[in-house]
Amino acid sequence: MESFSNLPDNWFKMTEIYYLDTCIHSDKIKEFSVSAKYSEIRIGNKTVREIIEDLFQQQDLKTIDDVSALDQLTASDDILIFSTSVFSKDLPALAKFLKFSSYSMINAFWGHQNCFIYKGNKDRFVSYITENSRKDIYFLHFPEYILDLTSLHEVKALLSNSHDSRHFNDIKSVGELYIKKSSNATKLQSEYDFLNNVPDHLKRYYVQVFEFSRDPEFAQYSMVSYDYKDVSHLYLSNSLNEESFQILMSLIKKYFEDSRNVAAIKYEKNSFEDLIRKNSSRLEQLKDVSYYEALNSFLINYKGISISDHHERIERELKKRERTYRKANYIFSHGDLCFSNILFSPQNMDMKLIDPKGFENNGMRSPYYDMAKLSHSIYGNYDLIINSMAAIDFDEEMNARLNFSTYDYIKNFDSLFLNLVKSMKLDMTLIRLVEASFFLSMIPFHYENKRKAFMLCLRSVEIFEEL
């Protein structure tokens, strides 16, 4: 990302930079974003304001709540000011545009009064905002990569994929649709086939998809957009209260009950073999990661076990419970039922599932697979790790442990998840064993972030030791 530390020093001496922290006036945007101000809207693990402040790094960005503060803060006639309703998915491009606008020798105003970037005479700006005086100001349009957060449509587009996603996926908003594009055409084809073959009685739980296409480099499909946020976003923005979580668990319980009613689907009971095979394959992928030896040494030094030994003990315990895993009635399985793949509206008491694992075995798997995915968000705190909301602490004996205390309020709802497990007559110990294997097997998909990889590995060990 380009930062303002790369801009010439004389630019900062000539231009004072202000960030106007504006309130959200639209009730629909307030409700959808769960925010009162644009600066408070959470994009992944950070707010809009935190992201912009990171963009400026140590440079002098003055945040104000009202334009009247300009007279008290600056004696300069020349300012650069932009509203917190200005954002972009392409942050380097936004940085370049702000740099470009700073060189303006005229009073230039991009956007409109509720979402703008302005460079020029301070008094002319204040007159326009307070009195709508357009004198001596040139009005211009934003480039297409700048988002106007006063638009509900653009807020929805921004938040639709704000959780930490894997690098090969790209989701774009086009009208009332989202287009999902991926360089992993085989994976996307399987995902589309699953969503396109959901049994009729389960379609109300899944996002509607159509128009799959592929070329030598990419594949894509379209899906209907919904005014729902994913559960990960609700959780990370402290918007998932006990009542909402209870509604969610009720919906998931009904989904699992309906998913068992799939007598017409032909399948093989191979879910356990697939799980063991996948875990072994991912371990070999992990060994190819450049910092594997450092990760292995960390685990030996601070948890007293190697990665391979930890993998083997998980596999031994899983095989002890193989019979229990196999005898569970198969379901039409989403396969990746984590918080970020569940769109949820507590108000409408509805959910839509997105991004399934694929259509292998006609979508049929053991319920233990999906329940372990759900558990890794509820008990495992996967979302906190992936969104940099966890820390590694050490006790007096220098044993490492993860600290979620600042954010982990969902543990207060554990009993609701346990009730779901009991109602399905599943073994919670087996669910958590599968969950521990997931944390280890996911590391190759997060290899680009060493800190997250270490945390995922550590969390896998902690879950096993909790059993």
Q: Which residues of the chain have a pLDDT value below 70?
A: 1-14, 45, 58-59, 74-75, 160-171, 173, 175
User: Closest by alpha carbon to 366, among 324, 316, 339, 330?
Assistant: 330
Q: What HEC string does 98-140 produce?
A: HHHHHCCCCCEEEEECCEEEEEEEHHHHHHHHHHCCCCCCEEE
pLDDT of residue 6: 52
Count: domains in the chain: 3
In this prediction the pTM is 0.77
Query: At 208, which CATH number?
Result: 3.30.200.20
Query: At 255, which CATH number?
Result: 3.90.1200.10
Query: At 124, which CATH number?
Result: 3.90.550
For residues 116 and 9, state if they share a domain: yes
How many whole angstroms separate alpha carbon 176 and alpha carbon 223?
9
For residues 159 and 146, state if they share a domain: no
For residues 158 and 62, state if they share a domain: no
Largest CA distance in the chain: 79
Residues 91-134: tens digit of each pLDDT: 889 988 998 888 888 999 999 999 999 999 999 999 999 998 99
Report CA-CA distances (Å) from 427 to 12, 213, 353, 422.
Answer: 62, 41, 24, 8
Q: Enter the tokens of residue 386.
A: 């992936």
Q: Phi and psi (nearest 5°) for 201?
A: -75, -5
Q: Enter the tokens of residue 169.
A: 């996926």
Check: CB of residue 8 under 8 Å from CB of residue 51: no
- State the CB neighbour count (10 A cutoff) for residue 378: 24
Amino acid identity for residue 8 in this structure: P
How many whole angstroms separate alpha carbon 246 and alpha carbon 241?
9
Residues 7-43: tens digit of each pLDDT: 454 444 457 889 999 999 998 888 888 789 999 988 8
Amino acid identity for residue 422 in this structure: K
How many whole angstroms separate alpha carbon 148 and alpha carbon 160?
15
pLDDT of residue 9: 46
Cα torsion for 244, 246, 250, 255, to the nearest 10°? 60
Check: CB of residue 15 under 8 Å from CB of residue 63: no
Q: Residue 99 belongs to what domain range?
A: 4-150
Q: Is 362 left (phi over 0), alpha (psi -120 to 50) or beta?
A: left
For residues 259 and 331, state if they share a domain: yes
pLDDT of residue 161: 55
pLDDT of residue 436: 98
Helical packing angle, 428-441 and 271-287, nearest 10°: 30
For residues 386 and 279, state if they share a domain: yes
For residues 384 and 273, state if they share a domain: yes
Strands 169-174 vs 177-182: parallel, antiparallel or unpaired: antiparallel
Strands 108-112 vs 115-121: parallel, antiparallel or unpaired: antiparallel
Instruction: Out of 100, 131, 150, pick the residue that ends a domain.
Output: 150
Q: Enter the tokens of residue 354.
A: 């997105």
How many whole angstroms separate alpha carbon 441 and alpha carbon 172?
29
Instruction: Out of 122, 150, 178, pick the residue that ends a domain.
Output: 150
For residues 442 and 312, state if they share a domain: yes
For residues 34 and 98, state if they share a domain: yes
Q: Phi and psi (nearest 5°) for 230?
A: -70, 155
How many whole angstroms separate alpha carbon 413 and alpha carbon 402?
20
Instruction: Out of 129, 150, 171, pick the residue that ends a domain.
Output: 150
For residues 208 and 236, state if they share a domain: no
Q: Enter the tokens of residue 105.
A: 């020798």
Q: What is the DSSP string of 341-354?
A: GEEEETTTTEEEE-
User: Closest by alpha carbon to 260, among 370, 340, 350?
Assistant: 370
pLDDT of residue 164: 45
CA R_g for the chain: 25
pLDDT of residue 397: 87
